[in-house]
Amino acid sequence: DGRFWLKSDSCAVAVGHVLLQEQMDHGKLTLKIIRYGSRLLPRGIENAHIAVKEFFGICIACNRQKAFMLRGPAVVVTDNQYVIYFMSNKASMDTQIAKRLIKMRATIAMFNLEFRLAGTKDMPFADYLSRIGVNGDVMKKRFEMAKQRKDEKKMRKLLEEPIKGYKIQIPKITM
């Protein structure tokens, strides 16, 4: 019933996203996790500018969650200022980065998207998912098994484990 929020983030080798939906919970508006995903970057994008990686992640997320994203207006949250600037149509289009982003923007033209800027600390789940590819499929498989068992305690433990010295605090997960 509520509006969708797509939080997407990118790291050096992977992208991650989480799709949330506004829902009323005991008279209070909350964001509930609907779906999430991550994937490694293709070789052609690995060495690209971070704005290209971030926008690639947004395009992948929108197309993977197409069934939800086509239902109405959605908010896309990113921590990359250049993506926000580019989507405001104020960016100069003569740079190589902008030319690459224009091609990618065509893949999400069908969606009614509003772009917002957030800090990395406001997107810990998407940030974490973008780093799953760094640690391989073992952690992802362990997380999926915990989710299937609806073991929230195990899911939280897996999400709070350090990733190469990187520790995050995850808000309460709702299923």
Whether the pLDDT of residue 165 is over 90: the answer is: no
Calpha distance 3→172 (Å, rounded):
20
Q: What CA–CA distances, in Å, run from 140 to 7, 96, 127, 153, 155? A: 19, 35, 14, 16, 11
The pLDDT assigned to 93 comes to: 57
Whether the pLDDT of residue 166 is over 60: the answer is: no
pTM of the predicted model, to two decimals? 0.71
Count of other CB atoms within 10 angstroms of residue 54: 25
pLDDT tens digits, 17-57:
899 998 888 888 888 888 888 887 787 887 888 888 999 99
Q: Which long-range contacts (CB under 8 A, 24 or more apart) does 142-148 make?
A: 147/175
Q: Percentage of the chain with pLDDT > 90? A: 18
Q: β-strands 113-117, 4-10: how paired?
A: unpaired
The pLDDT assigned to 155 comes to: 62
Say which residue, 121 or 164, is predicted with more confidence: 121
Whether the pLDDT of residue 91 is over 70: the answer is: no
